[in-house]
Chain A
Amino acid sequence: MSSIEERVKKIVAEQLGVKEEDVQESASFVEDLGADSLDTVELVMALEEEFETEIPDEEAEKITTVKLAIDYIKENLQ
């Protein structure tokens, strides 16, 4: 089983159509990885599926970088 970091980065790369090596933890989805607002919603949907959880809208809006996504998953799962 890959780590949470790896799984999150893989999903970000797939959803936003970028290379996995470009997905740095500090990267912002919109500013660094070229996501639009709809992409960020779909990204959260994909994370919800991968980690079998539901992320409330008010929390989802705060997840703007790769690191914040990893942190959220770590804090709210297991």
Chain B
Amino acid sequence: MSDKIALVTGASRGIGKAIAMALSGQGMTVIGTATTEGGAEAITAYLKEAGNAGCGMALNVSEAESVDSVIKAINEQFGAPTVLVNNAGITKDNIMMRMKDEEWFDVIDTNLNSLYRLTKACLRGMTKARWGRIVNISSVVGSMGNAGQANYAASKGGMDGFSRALAREVGSRNITVNSVAPGFIDTDMTAKLPEEQRQALAAQIPLARLGQPEEIAGVVAFLVSDAAAYVTGDTIHVNGGMYMA
């Protein structure tokens, strides 16, 4: 795995950071992206500390030009990424009758349209290498729904469908495409929830606690490894049992 270049979006904190660290642990050169320069510097700092040759880069996944220039920079500095983890995501919750255009479109653009842009940009390198791993970080909400998150659920369910369609398309080139659907994980995204709601959520989880980012990263690390070579088009739920498909 040491010759592989991995690109992880939204890697400055939370699940993305844990994934970047896990892939670094597998010996991959990791490029992590963040929306701000400060975030990119933080990624470079933790990768350096981990002895990784990769770095952080500022990327706005909802802008085509930004994606193009970052992919170009990675290709020039490191080579073509053959591992892509689409992790960057946002929430803008509201009940449907109150939802604003901006809340709908921002979430779809960052969470779902980004898949189109980044995957298309990375597929050329993967088809040439006759090897590739794409892992999309969706959500349990994409499968079970959640009131007040129609935009988020639509984007996450969309990611799972994308994974299945693309898995069929590029399977013949030894490229696997899977989704990992986290449940409630202890990150900044869920820290926004009031304590009462966190308690109520934990009560619905058979393992009776929120998950840790490293518990998602471990599954991603498996999916990109040789051990998972025959797993494709799947959505792996990692949620402490709160949703069982």
Chain A residues at the B interface, C-beta cutoff of 8 Å: 36, 38, 41-42, 45
Contacts and interface: CB of A to CB of B under 8 A. Distances in A.
Given A36-B172, A38-B170, A41-B127, 9 more contacts: A38-B127, A38-B169, A38-B172, A38-B173, A42-B127, A42-B128, A45-B124, A45-B127, A45-B128
Contacts of A42: 127-128
Contacts of B127: 38, 41-42, 45
Nearest to B169: A38
B76 to A, nearest CB: 16
Contacts of A41: 127
Main secondary structure of the interface of A (DSSP, over half): helix
A45 B170 CA distance: 16
B62 to A, nearest CB: 22
Contacts of B173: 38
Contacts, number: 12
Interface of B: 124, 127-128, 169-170, 172-173
12 contacts: A36-B172, A38-B127, A38-B169, A38-B170, A38-B172, A38-B173, A41-B127, A42-B127, A42-B128, A45-B124, A45-B127, A45-B128
Nearest to A37: B169
A42 B125 CA distance: 11
Contacts of A45: 124, 127-128
A45 B80 CA distance: 15
What are the 6 closest A-B residue pairs judged by CB atoms, nearest first?
Answer: A42-B127, A45-B124, A38-B172, A38-B173, A45-B128, A38-B169
B27 to A, nearest CB: 28
Contacts of B170: 38
Contacts of A38: 127, 169-170, 172-173
Nearest to A41: B127
Nearest to A45: B124
A77 B169 CA distance: 32
Nearest to A39: B172
Contacts of A36: 172
A19 to B, nearest CB: 21
Nearest to B124: A45
Most buried by B among A36, A38, A45: A38
A45 B128 CA distance: 9
A38 B123 CA distance: 11
A33 to B, nearest CB: 16
A21 to B, nearest CB: 26
A23 B55 CA distance: 46
A11 to B, nearest CB: 14
A41 B172 CA distance: 14
Nearest to B123: A41
Nearest to A36: B172
A45 B169 CA distance: 17
A76 to B, nearest CB: 20
A65 to B, nearest CB: 22
B54 to A, nearest CB: 26
A29 B170 CA distance: 19
